[in-house]
Structure 1
Amino acid sequence: MTRIKTVLLGTALTVTAGAAMAGTPVAAPEDPVIATPVTPVMTIGDWTGGYFGGSLGYGDYESGAASGDGMTGGLFAGYDYDFGSYTLGGEAQYVGNDISVGGTSLDNMARLKARVGYDAGPALIYGTAGVGYADSAIGDDTGYVAGVGMDYKLSNNVSVGAEYLYNHYDNFAGSGSDLTGNTFEARVSYRF
């Protein structure tokens, strides 16, 4: 009889424990965490920083009754500071020319320019003026340049643009004639 009581007691405990466990909630597995990709923040509207680049363009010059035109190409480097709605900056530029004015080759030019611009988000519209140095087959001289331009940011670091400059040299290289000209350039810049 003791053995029957032990078996019955064991069976009763097993059934009771099973019934008690049947109502216990089982924790569901947690949902997997899916990482959100990080997108780089574009600060396209901020023009503060240094830049360098290259230009390709066209120049048309006159000296006295002589004139000439041709291709130009060069390098430039500068720095802009963005004050919110406007920018201030400076730029140094070297330009090689394939231009001859009245049989005299206009070999190359160097320019040092100040820039004042309007910050239009991804576009920068600016005016520029400064000192120009021109080297030719008859000598060299210093004059001034003034113009307008626009840069447009394709990304945080790359911008494209265009610039027009009026170039003026009084009594160029002692020739008795002024040298004046207009240049138009397409420009590509890397900004950092």
Structure 2
Amino acid sequence: MTFKPLILVPFLATPAFAGSLDTAQPEPAPAAPVAPVAATPTYDWSGPSVGVQLGYGNLDADDPIDSEDDGALYGARAFYDYDFGNWVAGGGVQYDGADIEMGDGATLNGIGKIGGRAGYDLGRTMVYGTGGYAHAFTDDDDIDPGDSGGYYVGIGAEHFVTENVTVSGEVAYNKFDDFDDTDLEVDATTTTVGLNYRF
């Protein structure tokens, strides 16, 4: 009679042998890195802006000798707008230099404007109406008509290219009838395109 198999029983019951029979638990897989989400651009019309513009002006001078002429415009502008949600309102100043014959020996060399605008917010685009005070500056050639106050009305649109840069276009009718030469009246239609920076 032998007891050898019974000697092995205590060793088989030890934790070392019992543990060796368990299946090893797998390590959890590392979580995949989350890609950063790019911020959605915001197009807010509130705040100041400055810009430059180029354009074209057509003048119809009503004086003893009626005349019509046209030429290039170039200038700068500064505005402040407030975005109410669907609507935008603001005001600003602008100046366009020119060299356009006005008839009867005078030349228009600039138009200054100060006024307001109100528009509809389409997101990246705003369409608006504008109007206010306009002032015509002249150079005298054969005559000296002096300068003249007047008014302007127009329509325009402005569109965001980036969050801070916009392009714009505007068509305006300008009326001047307060020259020193009381017989002189000038109607001017101006068309401009601009590049603006919004702060």
Scaled by the length of structure 2, the TM-score of the pair is 0.82
Give distance in 2, aligned partners of 1:22 and 1:173.
111
Q: Who is 2:49 aligned against?
A: 51
- Whether contact under 8 Å (1:61, 1:68) holds in the other structure is yes
1:153 paired with 2:160, answer: yes
Give SS of 2:48's match.
Answer: strand
Give distance in 1, aligned partners of 2:49 and 2:137.
26
Give distance in 2, aligned partners of 1:62 and 1:88.
31
Query: Matched residues, percent identical?
Result: 36
**Which stretch of structure 1 is more off in the superposition, 79-88 or 101-110?**
101-110
Q: Who is 2:61 aligned against?
A: 63
1:92 partner letter: V
- Whether contact under 8 Å (2:11, 2:17) holds in the other structure is no
144, 147, 160: which one aligns with 1:140: 147
Give distance in 2, aligned partners of 1:25 and 1:131.
86
Give distance in 1, aligned partners of 2:77 and 2:159.
16
Q: Who is 1:4 aligned against?
A: none
- Structure 1 position 155, deviation (Å): 2.3
**Equivalent runs, 1:38-187 vs 2, <5 Å:** 38-44=37-43, 46-64=44-62, 65-102=66-103, 103-137=105-139, 138=144, 139-187=146-194
- Whether contact under 8 Å (2:57, 2:70) holds in the other structure is yes
Q: Who is 1:5 aligned against?
A: none
> Hey, which of these two has a bigger chunk of helix by percent?
1
- Structure 1 position 40, deviation (Å): 2.4
Sort the Cα spacing of 1:173 and 1:62 in 2 relative to 1 into closer, same or farther, 3 A.
farther
Give distance in 2, aligned partners of 1:56 and 1:93.
12
- Whether contact under 8 Å (1:171, 1:179) holds in the other structure is no
> What RMSD over aligned residues (CA atoms) do the two structures have, in Å?
2.4
- Structure 1 position 80, deviation (Å): 1.0
Give SS of 2:16's match.
Answer: helix
The superposition leaves residues 105-127 of structure 1 with CA deviations (integer Å, 9 ceiling, x where unpaired) of 21112110100111122211111
Unaligned runs of 5+ in 2: 1-6
Give the aligned length. 184
**Which stretch of structure 1 is more off in the superposition, 123-132 or 164-173?**
164-173
Scaled by the length of structure 1, the TM-score of the pair is 0.85
Give distance in 1, aligned partners of 2:138 and 2:17.
104
- Whether contact under 8 Å (1:61, 1:101) holds in the other structure is yes
- Structure 1 position 19, deviation (Å): 4.3
Give distance in 2, aligned partners of 1:32 and 1:133.
68
- Structure 1 position 156, deviation (Å): 1.7
